[in-house]
Structure 1
Amino acid sequence: MQAAGLRYFLAVAREGSIAAASARLNVAPSAISRQIANLEAELACILFERRPRGMVLSPAGELLARHAREVLASADQVVTEIRELDGLRRGLVRVACTEAFAIDLVPTVLAEFHRRHPGIRFELSVLPPGQVTHRVVQGDVDVGITFSLSPSGDTAIAYRHSLDMVALCAPDHPLAGRERVGFADLAAYPIALLPRDTTLRTVLDVACAAEGVAIEPALTSNVLSALLPFVRRTRGLTLVSSIALQDQVGRGEFRALPIQSRRSLARGIEVQTMRDRRLPRAVQAFLTALVAALPPVRE
């Protein structure tokens, strides 16, 4: 089995179709289809079940996928160790994070790291929390930073901390001068929120129920950056982690208000890597820089 065939096979398994794998790899669909057919002929089995909504791994395909990840990870490790003989002048760091970290934190760390090590390349994927962890577990990315409501047991944790959410408003908002706000204060103004299937809404809904306050959002979006213009141009607010948009808050573009609540508004932050994997030197150096940029964890 050739490495190219295994890579194409894993891409189809991850994306769910040959067309999607083709777009991701920038390889002709016919080439991917041919490699899959060659693998199935070589192994004398069906690797994918073709369903109306896409291609799903068969039991034999699941077994091959586990083997292929190990083989390709081993091959990549050899290449990495050879390149590391050249120090931090070359390398690739693949990062996945949720959008809250992609607006300020991660790009800032990337830029500073690139300034010090211009030969290192980066790939950044912005994904929902669960997908970040999945990409780390599958070995598709080197480092993941995401929110979680409970510790992940499927990854190695380089950093874990719990941070409260805050209310974000424009600097001229009527509440902007307050040191702390309550849920009744928030309910008096239009709210822009992420959807209910997010960790933020899960924590918020529990806290609102405990306070006996109903908050019905005026705007809901699965993209945080789509909520910010609403907050800037109206008397609206949104809720974010206290670590999100720190640069904008520091520049005075927004005001971050602590929220008084009977229930905890904290969510866990995890920096994740693949369990039992020896990290390439460039990845380890970036991981150290990323953790250093996060709030210190008090013992």
Structure 2
Amino acid sequence: MSPLWARLDIRHFVSLSAVVRTGSFTAAAESLGYTQSAVSQQIDRLEKLINGRVVNRSVGGRPVSLTPAGRVLMEHAATLTSTLQELADEVLALSQGQPRVLRVGCFESVGANLLPAALAGFVRAFPDIRVELTELPDDGDLLERLERDELDLTFVVFPLPEGPFEARALLEDPYVLVAAEGSALAQADGPIVLDDYPDIRLMTYAELRPVHSMVSRVGRPSYAERVVFRSNHTATLLSLAAEGHGVAFVPRLAVEQFRPGIRIIELARVSPRIIGIAWRHHQVLSEPAAAFVQAAEANADRMSARTS
């Protein structure tokens, strides 16, 4: 950046925005609580810094208009003033002891089932806090963002990898098979043992953190050779299963219970996944973050009670 551009001041953009908004230097000064000469000086300095005119001064009662250079600057002025207002709001909220934004990470099955009711409970308690959601297929990527302080909380699956994390378990989520409604497997009475069905074509998730893999859950490395399709989108796996392209191996929470064309088959001898919520180690949770954890726990308890 040249030294000249480095001398740009936010007041230049504030004055320019006000002049454009009101149509004159005098009206801009009144709206900002400045003198007319102060606004004129800011615009003059801005034009000297960029070595060009930014506004066409009013003539014959016509309002001030932007030059091409002024239009470019105004695009950035709008962004800057909006960012500054957001910054001021967040700093004020922090000075009062709580953030205005809560950054939460989740993955597909949690976003579709566990999150909505938890979020509803949280919003009732903290209507002024905006929840910024980051949804990724792999909780390993979410944990990396948590470690980089890009998230305040994230939903996870236990066990967690090594890292500066603390977490609280929420609920058990068993793995199931999903088959086409009219298939032979759909007639089986569950829970079934996967080893008893060596000929079924399996479909499961693509490369994720090892804790999510079918091989880890079943404990048979050879099962990887039976996988005919992988996707990190549960809807894709369920649609393929409904059309008879294979049998999907997915967590129960990921399955839409009343989705047409499929049958859910319970599995035996497959360990369930444990869903939890994590934050950075030694982090003192803000009041909103602690309330979100409590809302997630309460909803998880309700879900567990319905399925027990």
Q: Same fold (TM over 0.5)?
A: yes
State the distance in 1 between where 2:286 and 2:223 align.
49
Deviations 1:219-250 (A, max 9, x none): 212333322221233263212223333xx226
Q: CA deviation at 1:256?
A: 3.3
Q: In structure 2, which of residues 138, 142, 151 is the aligned counterpart of residue 132 of structure 1? A: 142
AA matched with 1:165: Y
Secondary structure of residue in 1 paired with 2:191: coil
1:104 corresponds to which residue?
113
Q: CA deviation at 1:94?
A: 0.9
State the distance in 2 between where 1:185 and 1:119 align.
54
2:123 corresponds to which residue?
114
Count of aligned pairs: 214
Where does the alignment leave 5 or more consecutive residues of structure 1 unmatched? 1-75, 85-89
* Residues 1:80 and 2:91 are matched in the alignment: no
Q: CA deviation at 1:214?
A: 6.4
How much is the aligned-residue C-alpha RMSD, in angstroms? 3.6
1:220 corresponds to which residue?
230
2:199 corresponds to which residue?
188
AA matched with 2:101: L
**Does the CA contact (< 8 Å) of 1:187 and 1:215 recur in 2?**
no
Where does the alignment leave 5 or more consecutive residues of structure 2 unmatched? 1-89
**Does the CA contact (< 8 Å) of 1:200 and 1:240 recur in 2?**
no
**Does the CA contact (< 8 Å) of 1:95 and 1:142 recur in 2?**
yes
State the distance in 2 between where 1:170 and 1:108 align.
30
State the distance in 2 between where 1:244 and 1:260 align.
18
State the distance in 2 between where 1:169 and 1:279 align.
43
TM superposition score normalised by structure 1: 0.58
AA matched with 2:109: A
Secondary structure of residue in 1 paired with 2:253: coil
AA matched with 1:80: L
Secondary structure of residue in 2 paired with 1:104: helix
AA matched with 2:94: T
TM superposition score normalised by structure 2: 0.56
Q: CA deviation at 1:195?
A: 2.0
Bigger Rg, which one: 2
1:258 corresponds to which residue?
266
AA matched with 2:107: T
Counterparts in 2 of 1:274 and 1:196: CA distance versus 1, 3 Å: closer
Counterparts in 2 of 1:203 and 1:218: CA distance versus 1, 3 Å: closer
AA matched with 2:237: L
Secondary structure of residue in 2 paired with 1:96: strand
Deviations 1:25-61 (A, max 9, x none): xxxxxxxxxxxxxxxxxxxxxxxxxxxxxxxxxxxxx
**Does the CA contact (< 8 Å) of 1:91 and 1:282 recur in 2?**
no
State the distance in 1 between where 2:94 and 2:286 align.
6
2:50 corresponds to which residue?
none
2:215 corresponds to which residue?
204
1:167 corresponds to which residue?
177
Matches within 5 A, 1:261-280: 261=269, 264-280=270-286
Paired-residue identity, %: 20
* Residues 1:154 and 2:164 are matched in the alignment: yes
